[in-house]
Structure 1
Amino acid sequence: MVALQGSGTDEGSGAFVSASPVRGNDSESFGNLVIFAGILFSAAFTGLIWFASGRLQAISHLPDQGASWYFWILPEPTFWSRTTAWGFYAAHQIAQWALIYHAQVRVRKYTRGLHPVNVAALGMNAGFIAMHFVQTHIWYDGLAQDVSIWSALGLVAILLIWVLLMENDRRGLFFAKPLPFSRRLIQFARRYHGYYFSWAIVYTFWYHPMEATSGHLIGFFYMFLLMVQGSLFLTRMHVNRWWMVFLEVT
């Protein structure tokens, strides 16, 4: 007899989600394995960035010009450095949004395992991570050549505010006391957070070349973790409390 996954609520929209058959990978232990594999991949690829960083030492940089200056750009960008940075970023962003949209329109229910769209998202993000590594070592420049450093910082700041809004009912904002935001606003934030979070993460990811300063390594490691999280939409792993705490304290 086929066991059933418990009914619940679609945490993106607040809509009721009906029960669905448990598949072979639909277990808590499998979910923990997926999360562990994501952490391991993130750490291993961060190590690869560090290991290969010697190849980037020959690249020259302009002198630092103050707080608004981003140091890790080519003194003279080329057609291909710009085309690959913006082209790969656009492809990555569109692919991520398309998968989120597909999940919301076609899948629409949570599982303890992985939907095929989650497997596609994990593979897609891993592919673009590898692509960015190659792009850095051939053409170097990220989006930073053409946009202000404050754009990436601003996107991340709004992301953090968005998280606080989503967590308002459960955790409160001031001394565990929630603020009286409208229910419609909270539902909007939960339903569409994936699109904005994806934009903030993918944009920031392609903003930087894969350099190996301590700041870059920590930042890329954390972005890899967020890409894992962003690939687990409509799974119980996406809302696993221990995994969420790990992301918050990393």
Structure 2
Amino acid sequence: MAVRSTLAALIAGAFLLVGRVPLPERRHWAGLAVVAGGVVIGFPLLTTLALQTSTTSHAAVVVGLLPLTTAVFAALRTGRRPSRTFWWAAVSGAVVVLGFTVQQSGGAVSQGDLYLFGALLVCAAGYTEGGRLARLMPGWQVIGWALVLCLPLMAVGSAVALSVEPVRLNAHGVLGLVWVAAGSTFFGLYVWYRGMASIGIPKASQLQLAQPLLTLFWSVFLLGETLPLAAPVAAVAVLVCIAVTQRAKS
């Protein structure tokens, strides 16, 4: 995680330097700190800890609660109040996800689920602040400055991690690292924040309900995980909620 964020911060810093982007106004730094703490550090760290005791498919559907959590944070932070239809659809998707979680854990919440729920809270706060800031500055600058803000901490973490863990460089590993750093962490979040600024945080957040289905698909075909029958049913159910939230007034 630290190495990925360090590389992403270096890429972001290069873009900021080449573009001669001035430092953000002082009033924006608190929001950027929330983005950095929630999206760059908190969410990856907590989900990594969760995956030590949970499968990727299980974690993916639990993270399906993130759209609802983000919509709630956005309503509280920005004062915008989506329609009742929107909330019914968003809550329905969340209920499906919670039902899957309880069913898969035998009726009890596991330690991995606690990490995941913590990840939801910090990431929703980061998404909300990022979406708000993306209406004031380009989305790539939002995530760019958040990454640069974390660079000193991530650089230290990378040095420690590389000193205690064996490094086996190969083409597959290097390609994967570059992808998660440049594609997922930097450019992916740039597009995400730009979309939030364009259509609004609540409505954009609900599109992420598609993530569980996509993650479930790739966890089977790339990682060879066994897919529980309830997992695709739950994922498809929350996808139905997407259509409703996008048509509802938000």
TM-score by length of 1: 0.32
Flag the structure with higher helix content.
Answer: 2
Structure possessing the higher relative contact order (Cα contacts under 8 Å, 6 or more residues apart): 2
TM-score by length of 2: 0.32
